[in-house]
Structure 1
Amino acid sequence: MRPAIKDQIQPPAPDPYSSVTVLGAGSWGTALAAVIARNGHNVRLWARRPEQADAINASGQNGDYLQGVDLPEAITATSDLAEALSGTQAVILATPSLTLRAMCQAIAPHLPADVPLALACKGVERRTGLLLSEVVSDELPGHPVGAVSGPTFARETALDHPTAATVAFAFSYHDRLKPDQSPAARMALTLSGHGFRPYVSDDLVGVEVGGAVKNVIAIACGMMSGAGFAENTRAALITRGIDEMKLLATALGGRRETVTGLSGAGDLTLTCSSTTSRNMSLGHQLGQGIPRPNCFEGRNVVVEGEVNAVSVTDLAARVGVPMPICETVHAILHEGADLQEAFSALWARPIEAEPYALDLSIDHPAPQHSLPFGGHA
């Protein structure tokens, strides 16, 4: 006789990772470290500069990136990679995408076997056209690789404002048999608590494409906002930007529905809505006519979308996906195109059908007219 339901053996609950290393003590890496530490787990936060690590340990704050935010005591900062990675159960990579490959090479001698690696940076590698998960797998084979992505500003996350994000890993055969024991589920459980609510995905490609493309679209929104245009324009760029995400994601094997979720449409909407985003802020300054060297008051601020404008459009061209908004941003940032002329040409492209099942292309009736820059409220 089968046992009663209440007497049946239940599968063990998934365990969170009790010891996590966050590589990168910028604003987002620090915010994720704060989330994990608040949930009762030990966190080692690696900072590139020893003086930054010492200051975090001494003050309980990251004054360089999250000034005024008190950090949980369970965070220990260090600039020593061997110390940061010793005995860790999981690693979050929060370094800039441009330095990701070098970081992977640096941690290889110190990384415990089989620990999962979650990306907290977004983009496509410029030289190779690889997604960042492919860069990690290339340099650190044998480790489960995933990503944490969604509509998240670091300061709000660090202050424990209600925040949602997606945790995505490629699922192995074993993961599909026991999805609640997968690295994605365990990482989500590690992050889950207080104001932070994660969702689990097995579509790593879709999540990564959303994160890379949204930075470029945010620069476009910033450019048009800085030039004086308002909500109609931003809504159009966001909506058509999501379409560019979908086309690239599906071409690379991702799923369209992933792009409509937190890591795609959600992240894009947030990033395109506030100059708190460095991508939106850069675009806004350029739209106001500020030369690139003078943006951010001349400070050397890393803007992921500036790099991604090259790598994303190169990748899209390689797989035959048209991405006119990203191509416009690329032309302005890297080919010296005039902002007004480039966006006027974007708006004067042939009229197309919104459902792709309807095959339609009609020349725009007024391609010679420029958008009314300076002639609007």
Structure 2
Amino acid sequence: MTRAAVLGAGSWGTTFAKVLVDAGNDVTLWARRTELAERINTTHRNEDYLPGIDLPEGVVATHDAATALRGAELVAFAIPSQTLRENLAGWVPHLPGEASLLSLMKGVELGTTRRMSEVIAEVTGAPGERIVVVSGPNLAREIALQQPTATVVACIDEQRAIAVQNTCSTSYFRPYSNTDVVGCELGGAVKNVIALACGIGQGMGFGDNSLASIITRGLAETARLGERLGADPLTFAGLAGLGDLVATCNSPLSRNRTFGERLGRGESVAQAQEATHGQVAEGVKSCRSLLDLARSHDVDTPITAAVEAVCSGVMTPRKMVELLMARSMKSES
């Protein structure tokens, strides 16, 4: 049994806490709001983010981060990626010195273009061997309903990746280990932006040919950027690459795809944000940081650039499509 803390009681954080309990671990879930923590403990549900789903009694929630972190051997971060640095600075004094630090987040930090594992290393001073990433097709509600899924647990220390893999393995959640942290994180971040593009297409009434084209060329963008940053190309053909991309671009459970649909139907970013009731579509902010990251390494990412232009309000979805289709002819390879 592992003593684990999950910081963040949104849909994915709550689901991962459930996975850890079902895998036989002692788990404390930190919630930003006191009333949410109290409701989870009283009703064994998180109706704000996972309505109608029962949680095991072993998921114990608290509003006090120090309490959640006390004695933890595994600390999982499940908060919006753009808030990680600020929150982590306050948690550092309470982090156990040898705990594995696990990122459940999929994004790239605005301003610094740091991946989440890099932010964790920078703020905590922890070596890369202690920092782990979970990525793959992680639609929270399906996992909370115990529908079978596979995922990737990545760490540059293979033995730590395997240890965390064993810690979160259940009858419905099958993790695979990997040492390519860069590739797994990029796959998880870029797919949010590509899902926005797919959603925009869906909202504009486009069919399967259009969506398949966006997914495939989006994967090409991801692989180009990953290759430049030293990722293993095979990662993008796996769960953290193609697997996560397909799930996020096709599922109505995907916040990014749903957000994109609203943009494609003509809503503004503000209108789409209001309709999501506080749920964060990570790609809306990460598209800017990913575009900055790609440009700083001279990598062409036309879909990401087009989505960023739509999200920043300088381009309409219709114009986005026109510009992408008017690009110069080239070889696929």
Matches within 5 A, 1:96-135: 96-135=80-119
Q: Which residue of 2 aligns with 1:366?
A: none
| Partners of 1:187 and 1:102 in 2: CA distance | 26
Task: Determine whether 1:322 maps to 2:311.
Answer: no
Check if 1:347 corresponds to 2:333.
Answer: no
The 8 Å contact of residues 40 and 74 in structure 1, kept in 2 or not, is answered as: no
Q: Which residue of 1 aligns with 2:199?
A: 222
Whole-Å separation in 2 of the counterparts to 1:280 and 1:27: 16
Say if 1:170 and 1:203, in contact at 8 Å, map to a contact too.
Answer: yes
Q: CA distance change for structure 1 residues 62 and 340 in 2, over 3 Å: closer, same or farther?
A: same
- The superposition leaves residues 354-374 of structure 1 with CA deviations (integer Å, 9 ceiling, x where unpaired) of 12xxxxxxxxxxxxxxxxxxx
Residue aligning to 1:361 = none
Match of 2:171 in 1: 194
Cα offset for 1:294? Answer: 1.9
What is the SS of the residue equivalent to 2:231?
Answer: coil
Equivalent residue for 2:148, pick from 162, 177, 181: 162
Hey, what's the Cα distance between the residues in 2 that align with 1:189 and 1:270?
A: 24
Q: Distance in 2 between matches of 1:228 and 1:184?
A: 42
Using the TM superposition, give the Cα deviation of residue 207 of structure 1 relative to its aligned residue in structure 2, in angstroms: 0.2
Report the Cα distance in structure 1 between the residues aligned to 2:62 and 2:326, rounded to whole angstroms: 53
State how 1:7-86 maps to structure 2 within 5 Å: 18-86=2-70
CA contact (8 A) 2:196 2:259 kept: yes
* Aligned equivalent of 2:275: 297
Counterpart pick for 1:146 among 112, 124, 132: 132
CA contact (8 A) 1:45 1:77 kept: yes
Runs of 4+ residues over 6 Å off in structure 1: none
3-state SS of the aligned residue for 1:164?
A: strand
Match of residue 235, structure 1, among 205, 212, 222: 212
Q: Which residue type is aligned with residue 249 of structure 2?
A: C
Q: Secondary structure at the match of 2:119?
A: helix
- Equivalent positions of 1:265-284 (< 5 A) are 265-284=242-261
Equivalent residue of 2:209, what SS? helix
SS in 1 for 2:175: strand
Residue 174 of structure 1 corresponds to none
TM-score by length of 2: 0.97
Equivalent residue, structure 2, for 1:373: none
Partners of 2:275 and 2:165 in 1: CA distance: 38
Secondary structure class of the residue paired with 1:167:
strand
TM-score of the pair, normalised by structure 1: 0.86
Q: Distance in 1 between matches of 2:88 and 2:268?
A: 34
2:181 pairs with 1:204 = yes
1:299 positional shift:
3.6
Tell me the amino acid that sits aligned with residue 121 of structure 2: S
Structure 2 CA distance for aligned equivalents of residues 328 and 140 of structure 1: 35
Note the residue ranges of structure 2 that are not aligned, 5 or more in a row: none
Residues 37 and 301 of structure 1: is their aligned pair in 2 closer, same or farther, counting only changes over 3 Å?
Answer: closer
Any idea what SS the aligned residue of 1:198 has? strand
Q: Secondary structure at the match of 1:29?
A: helix
Asked whether the equivalents of residues 9 and 31 of structure 2 are also in contact (C-alpha less than 8 Å), the reply is yes
Displacement, 1:253? 1.1
Q: Distance in 1 between matches of 2:263 and 2:170?
A: 39
Work out the CA distance in 2 between the residues paired with 1:337 and 1:26: 32
Shift of 1:208: 0.4
Mapped to 2, the partners of 1:148 and 1:228 lie a distance apart of 33
Match in the other structure for 2:75: 91
State the Cα distance separating 1:301 from its structure 2 match. Answer: 3.5
Could you tell me which amino acid in structure 2 is paired with residue 161 of structure 1? Q
Classify the secondary structure of the residue corresponding to 1:268: helix
AA at the equivalent of 1:262: L
- Whether the 8 Å contact between 1:275 and 1:284 is mirrored in structure 2 is no
Cα 1:298–1:136 shift into 2, 3 Å: closer
Q: 1:335 Cα shift?
A: 4.4
Tell me, what secondary structure is at the counterpart of 2:250?
coil
Q: Percent identity?
A: 43
Report the alpha carbon displacement of residue 300 of structure 1 after superposing the two structures with TM.
3.9
How many aligned residue pairs are there?
330
The one-letter amino acid of 1:348's match is A
Q: Deviations over 1:82-141 (max 9, x none)?
A: 100000111111011011111211110101102111100111111111111111000111
Aligned to 1:213, the other structure's residue is in SS state helix
Unaligned stretches of 5+ in structure 1? 1-16, 172-178, 356-377
